[in-house]
Structure 1
Amino acid sequence: MKRFFALFLTLVLAIGVLAACGPQNNQSSSNSNEGSGSEGDDANKPEKLVVWEDTDKAVALEPAIASFEEEYGITVEFKELGMADEIREQIRLDGPAGTGPDVITLPHDQIGQAAVEGLISPIEVDQSVVDTFTESSIQAESYEGNLYGLPKATETPVFIYNKELMDEAPETMDEVYDFATDFTKDKNYGFLALWDNFYFANAVLAGYGGYVFERTDEGLDPQNLGLNNEGAVEGTEYIQKWYDEKLFPKGLIGENGGSSMDGLFNEGKAASVMNGPWSFQGYKDAGIEIGVAPMPKLPNGENFQTFIGVKGWHVSNFSENKEWATKLVEWISNAENGKIRYEKTGEIPPVKSLIEDPIIADNEAANAVAVQSSYGVPMPNIPEMAEVWEPAASALQLVATGKQEPKAALDEATKTIKSQIEQNHSN
């Protein structure tokens, strides 16, 4: 009898052990996958992850990869490709073929189109991770209510001046205007800006109350344009003033405007310009001692609402390891690795704690970009934005050359944009 009971007890225990390995335990493992470094993740851990990084930026990625490999025991390989065009074009081919990456870097204005094409996947991360970044950078990485990546760097136009020609950065554009009025003569200019280029000009229009697309709780509304509202017209009239009073040279209009502006500044013939951090090194190489500051306040007392460009990390929709790819995205974009990226590339991570860090706060140029970014707005990342650039630029050029008044030019541009959106983006 005792022997029978012992056998019975052994059988019960065996069943209990098997039950512990059954569906309930699998459910627990599934839930644990949501946490970092969980045992459930380890069960599906890949041997390798692949990252596509921007050209000449891997020097900042390598230390992040090394620490990730040490932490998780996963090999991470990387490849450098042109971020603006090459990466998106290549993943269209390599992704479906199964030879593409798990993680890619993209400029945020490509997110909408990449999401529509099914090239990138929405990601889910803890709110604590989201909260480490600035609100505008997370906004830039979102599309139709979903988060599609985490930011790695941000950039926006700022006020750059030649310290030999201008003692300090003015606080207002009224001061800049007064300086330019006195300084502009004999082919020398007090201030230059590419305001026939909508990328730069929108900062003025938005500062007066214009906008491209209305922002709603669901995202940007392409049916609601603010490019010809009262504020946009007032902002364009302010731009018109600089051209009408010949404070900008004729050569500052059109495709060659950027090279003309840089040439004048590098030759010491322009005291100040509105340009982005990509121009800093070229100016320094020309022997100019530059000062950098946030854009001075507009005459209405508001800040320039410059377009913010955000570079981010994204999970390929073709990846077979999306959870681990997301974990890698979190790792390489965290504060520690963001700081390394800034030290090695000069790219400014939109991580809240780093903006206050002395490494950025005590650097004049980096701090100016960080502060101006806090005033700016993310460049629209929806596919409909492709229909805005050319008509908006045409309107600004018509105003700059005196061929059309601001209201008429903006009305015509808005009509064209709406028509193209309806034609190319209707369901």
Structure 2
Amino acid sequence: MKKLLAWPLTFALAAGSLAACGPKEEEGGKEAGKEADKPKQLTIWEDKEKGIGTQDAIKAFEKKYGIKVKLEEKPMLDQQEKLRLDGRSGKGPDIITTPHDRVGPLALEGLIAPIKVSDETKKLYTESSINALTYDGNLYGLPKSTETPVFVYNKALMEKAPETLDELKGDKFGAEYSYLANWTDFYFAHGVLSGMGGYVFKDDNGTLDPSDVGLANDGGVEGLDYITSWYKEGLFPKGIIGKDAGQTIDALFTTKKAASVMNGPWSFQPYKDAGIDIGVAPLPKLPNGEYVKTFIGVKGYFVSSYSKNQEWATKLVEFITNEENSKVRFEKTAEIPPVVKLMEDPIIADNEAAKAVAIQSERGVPMPNIPEMAEVWTPAANALQLSATGKSDAQKALEGAVKQINQNIETNHKKK
């Protein structure tokens, strides 16, 4: 779910001091060309209540390689801090599970190690998911699952998803509101700004440039103008601005006062539990004919820098994320693996919700995984609210946000 993503990152220490916390590079290293000695045991930290999706793969790995694998479930967002403490004392795991937006901070702190896998292995996964797990030119993990906001609608009110967002402006589908989106939250609004041509950090062939923030360019301004039009035209209620907007949207949808919403996979079951017969589709097109470029979140498996068995830990990561084991994990956890062939497999292609998330994930962009992203959330949200409430026009609001973001980056992430 969105809340599982590690934003905003509370990470403003200098790279030099962070790197000093990690183990020395020679730990776990082996002479090039020689296979590392086989360990008796590897330890993997899996997310809470998700071990069921990995158990069969672990048993198969143990049988194939004769290595015992210890599986421990720990809350995903607690694993970074626990690795920092347990790794240093020699009690840590060989592999952790974490969202991709923690890759930059974890790498800078020296807590995770780059991994080396073949190009053939990389091609198993969607390009966006591999990019999400890459930092400063190095691949740090392999993808476990992907998620992103999609279009969720009440089938009792709406027969099918529309082709464009503008169609939702002209028909309320028998409800008070045709469509609701938490567009004063930058996590959700980003897709509109990006689809119109804005961007957070300039992407130069997979390398993000934090000195180039593109939220206030022509596309970004056009995107915020479009968002603001929904508020000005009374298509959104006043109550969906600010921190309680998400709860208000859920309440309006589950009481059938809203025909459709923008939300993520974490919302599907609660909506069903509320008695709503939901339909799920990729998000409709923007007025410029482009798709909404939502943030995608990728959860992955990463090798600890403290592991003395990094080569074998990497083998285990490759094994549990291969096509066969990813398919089993999806069947047991419903987390969607960004494995290219599985996107076309009936197990996902014939599953309306999974297919929608998979398609939207291919249209989206990975949430930036560099530490500087921590400085974006608050200024961006402030700009969205200023424009939505009519306290500022879109251009001034976004220019102010970019100025604040740049100042924050200069203050908190200046290279020493």
The TM-score with structure 2 as length reference comes to: 0.91
Which residue of structure 1 aligns with residue 412 of structure 2? Answer: 424
Which residue of structure 2 aligns with residue 236 of structure 1? Answer: 224
Residues 186, 384 of structure 2: 8 Å contact kept: yes
- Structure 2 residue matching 1:195: 3-state secondary structure: coil
Which residue of structure 2 aligns with residue 103 of structure 1? Answer: 95
**Equivalent residue in structure 2 for 1:49, among 42, 45, 65:** 42
Displacement of 1:30: 5.2
Cα distance in 2 between the residues matched to 1:138 and 1:247: 38
Counterpart code for 2:68:
T
Gaps of 5+ in 1: 1-28, 34-39
Which residue of structure 2 aligns with residue 69 of structure 1? Answer: 62
The TM-score with structure 1 as length reference comes to: 0.89
Kindly provide the CA deviation profile for residues 149-184 of structure 1, in whole angstroms up to 9, marking residues without a partner as x. 00010001100000001111101112122124x756
Cα distance in 1 between the residues matched to 2:385 and 2:291: 23
- Structure 2 residue matching 1:121: 3-state secondary structure: coil
Q: How many residues align structurally?
A: 386
Which residue of structure 2 aligns with residue 143 of structure 1? Answer: 135
Cα distance in 1 between the residues matched to 2:258 and 2:230: 15
* Alignment map for 1:308-323 (pairs within 5 Å): 308-323=296-311
Displacement of 1:218: 5.9
1:400–1:183: structure 2 CA closer, same or farther, 3 Å change rule?
Answer: farther
Which residue of structure 1 aligns with residue 149 of structure 2? Answer: 157
Counterpart code for 2:201:
F
Q: Does 1:167 align with 2:155?
A: no
Counterpart code for 1:71:
K
* Alignment map for 1:3-402 (pairs within 5 Å): 32-33=33-34, 40-41=35-36, 44-83=37-76, 85-180=77-172, 183=174, 188-217=176-205, 219-402=207-390
1:80–1:375: structure 2 CA closer, same or farther, 3 Å change rule?
Answer: same
Displacement of 1:217: 3.0
Cα distance in 1 between the residues matched to 2:214 and 2:146: 25
Comparing both structures, which one devotes a greater share of its residues to helix? 1
Counterpart code for 1:404:
S
Which of the pair has the greater relative contact order for Cα pairs under 8 Å at 6+ separation?
2
- Structure 1 residue matching 2:286: 3-state secondary structure: coil
Cα distance in 1 between the residues matched to 2:386 and 2:75: 34
Regions of 4+ moved over 2 Å? 29-33
Displacement of 1:249: 1.1
Counterpart code for 1:201:
A
Displacement of 1:268: 1.1
Displacement of 1:210: 0.2
Kindly provide the CA deviation profile for residues 318-356 of structure 1, in whole angstroms up to 9, marking residues without a partner as x. 101000000000001110111011101110000000000
Counterpart code for 2:112:
I
Cα distance in 2 between the residues matched to 1:93 and 1:177: 52
The structure with the larger Rg is 1
- Structure 2 residue matching 1:164: 3-state secondary structure: coil
* Alignment map for 1:409-420 (pairs within 5 Å): 409-420=397-408
Counterpart code for 1:59:
I
Residues 157, 174 of structure 2: 8 Å contact kept: no
Residues 131, 206 of structure 2: 8 Å contact kept: no
Residues 144, 300 of structure 2: 8 Å contact kept: yes
Note the aligned Cα RMSD (angstroms).
1.2
Cα distance in 1 between the residues matched to 2:333 and 2:169: 34
Gaps of 5+ in 2: 1-29
Report percent identity of matched pairs. Answer: 59
- Structure 2 residue matching 1:250: 3-state secondary structure: coil
